[in-house]
Chain A
Amino acid sequence: MSLTEQRSSAVSAALAKDRLGVPSVVFFVISAAAPLMVVAGSVPTAYAVTGVLGVPFAFLLLGAVFALFAVGYVTMARHVVNAGAFYAYAAQGLGRTQGVATAWVALLAYNALQLGLYGIIGSAAEPLLLDWFGGSPAWWVIALLAWALTGLLGLLRVDVNGKILSVLLVSEIAVVLVFDIGDLLNAAPGGIDFEGFTPGSLFVPGVGAALATVVAGFAGIESSVVFAEESKDRDRTVPIATYLGITIIAVLYAISAWAQTVPTGPDGIVKAAAQQGPTLVFNQAATHLGSTVSTIGSVLFVTSSIACMIAFHNTTARYIFALGRENVLPSVFGRTSARTAAPVAGSVLQTTLGLIVITVYAVSGLDPVTKLFFTFGAFGGLGLLTLLTITSIAVIVYFSRNPSGETAWRTRVAPALAILALCVIIGMTLINFDTVLGVAPGSAIRWILPGIFIVAIVFGLVWGRVLKATRPEVYANIGLGAQAVGGGSK
């Protein structure tokens, strides 16, 4: 959209009517973060796998880091016509070759976050099936059902309807808060203990592992700038929605993660989480509030997981589509299903990967929650941290080359602080990656997984160079997304 458009124009006014306001963007953003899934799935797993009690503090800390990152990020959104957010910014700020490398990292990270969800759906549905039918199939049967549903809806381009999404989201948050109150009213004999909110409880061995998981809980928040083009006021809607989304998520998760420790006491949470896994919060709720509330929570846990799967499936498929339109990926990925307007090839690729992962885990008998959901989540979280760091660097470089009248805080100071904080977090995550994976400290796999991102970056840089040398017309359009076919005119 042209920035020279006059505000009083009848055309602009008519188009603006269909655009999104702050509440809609916040709903989209938070629902991709799937509150109940994080509170019931990620948090107990984080306690169990890492043994770190400072998870509540980690949510607040990362909320602050995300907010710091968002300062430069939303400023960039005002100046760069946005196609695929991260890699578009990297292409604009750091150069197109670096943009391709960033795109590969983003593809890997989002794929990991999406595929990991197939590991949690089984444990989400199992208690309900046991309760209702007295038995439950293996986790992978449930995962395959969810996989088929996600794949089908992806091809039909069924995004979960905005209204349904808001109802689900509000109910989820309500249930989480009710669970929290139940926990607080039933404190352990030792009384209510605020240890989880102290920095000392977080910065213990295993901190990096806890941080990596917590990051995955924030995944989705970065999608806010994708709505810049579709928002009512490009300059205000997106920043407000982003900060609001981060605040709501950080506070809600921190309180809920802490509330889970209240009935068991800080000493008992790790053991309880290890024994009960994702059923922990529902068991607590059943004891404190009765089985009806607990069942409502379980049902919402399932719907929340499925909504999150669909959201990530579609995000990734669209990402692949944008890259296909730019010819960075083979142009077949830029093809549209004319009947449903779905990015069909990207969607099929996602679905195929899902089947492979579920099959491999089912055949090898690995634990879906800790080895699939948690490992993929942490791996995706690590990728997300890398993306945030690259993007912050891109913001600084972009504004140093294109002075824009924005304040130094927005274009230099906040992004620089974000880079510093993110690098520390990435360092700590790498140090503890053995804990994340549950392997021996000397195991090779702990270096292989982060190494995949390095390979992706190197491969992306090489591919960018190849494109520059052999197909300059494609190279010129990197980072433009759907605009690429138009040569980027605005």
Chain B
Amino acid sequence: MAEGDLKSPSLADDLFFVMHDNATGRTRLHLRLASLGLAGAVLGELMLAERLTMDVASGQDRLYVTTRDATGDPVTQNVLDQVAAEPQHPVLTWLLFFARTVYADVATRMIAANLLKPATRNLLKQQRPVPVDPNVAAWPQARLNLAVQRREPPVTRDCVLYGLFVATGGAQRVLWEHDPAFVATTLAMLPAPLQRLIVQTEVAVGQAVISRR
């Protein structure tokens, strides 16, 4: 997991981009599902950066902090601190917990990194953040489309991106093709903790669909 340093645009930033229209910034996913996906992506960033890992052997899918070095970014630092403080929760609980706030957190981080323009205050316009550069915003989606089209699993980080995007139900809607067999091949290439992260995100999404609220 060499590509795992927390650079910008990060995994969560890329997921944010693929979940929104690259020109208008309009969301393609229900907020609840998008938030669960982003929560998975922030945890994924920390796992790729080897700050977090998951104990998959116990069957409980618990998260553990491996290194408490500063991440240099308030969003991931906050997540890391929370997990360090209460290691007893399974990853599903963490996904639900971080999903409450992660959407706004990631958007704020992307505005600070000059990836998004802040939401305008104009009364006539929808108040949503818009990508600064539509080409930058379109790039992650293009990478996934190419990978699916060529049936070549991308680099590890994009495998996680793809897995999370499929788990939220967004990939089936946005990408050119949907091939369940290719999804399975791609996910099989990931280390077990990242696979479990994606699976648990899919569980959380399923529960959100079944829930009556």
Contacts and interface: CB of A to CB of B under 8 A. Distances in A.
Interface of A: 1-2, 4-6, 9-12, 14-15, 18, 28, 83, 157, 159, 162, 226-227, 229-230, 314, 318, 321-322, 325, 334-343, 481-483, 485-487, 489-490
Given A10-B85, A339-B28, A489 B213 contact: no
Contacts of A226: 212
A341 B33 contact: yes
Contacts, number: 116
Interface in B85-131: 85-86, 88-90, 92-94, 96-97, 100
B28 A159 contact: no
Nearest to B85: A10
A351 to B, nearest CB: 17
A14 B168 contact: no
Interface of B: 28-30, 32-33, 59-61, 82, 85-86, 88-90, 92-94, 96-97, 100, 168-170, 172-174, 196, 199-200, 202-203, 205-213
- Across the A-B interface, the 9 shortest Cβ-Cβ residue pairs: A482-B206, A341-B30, A338-B169, A336-B169, A486-B203, A482-B207, A338-B170, A338-B173, A318-B210
B88 A2 contact: yes
A205 to B, nearest CB: 41
B169 A335 contact: yes
A490 B88 contact: no
B97 A486 contact: no
Contact of B212 (A15, A83, A159, A485): A159
B88 A230 contact: no
A336 B205 contact: yes
Contacts of A342: 209
Nearest to A1: B93
26 contacts: A1-B90, A2-B60, A2-B89, A2-B90, A5-B88, A9-B86, A10-B85, A14-B97, A14-B100, A226-B212, A227-B212, A229-B207, A230-B212, A322-B206, A322-B210, A335-B169, A335-B172, A338-B30, A338-B170, A341-B32, A343-B210, A483-B206, A485-B206, A486-B196, A486-B199, A486-B200
A230 B210 CA distance: 11
A226 B210 CA distance: 10
Contacts of A12: 93
B209 A11 contact: no
A335 B58 CA distance: 29
A490 B97 contact: no
Find the residue from B32, B94, B173, B206 having the highest chain A CB count within 10 A. B206
A6 B87 CA distance: 11
B203 A485 contact: yes
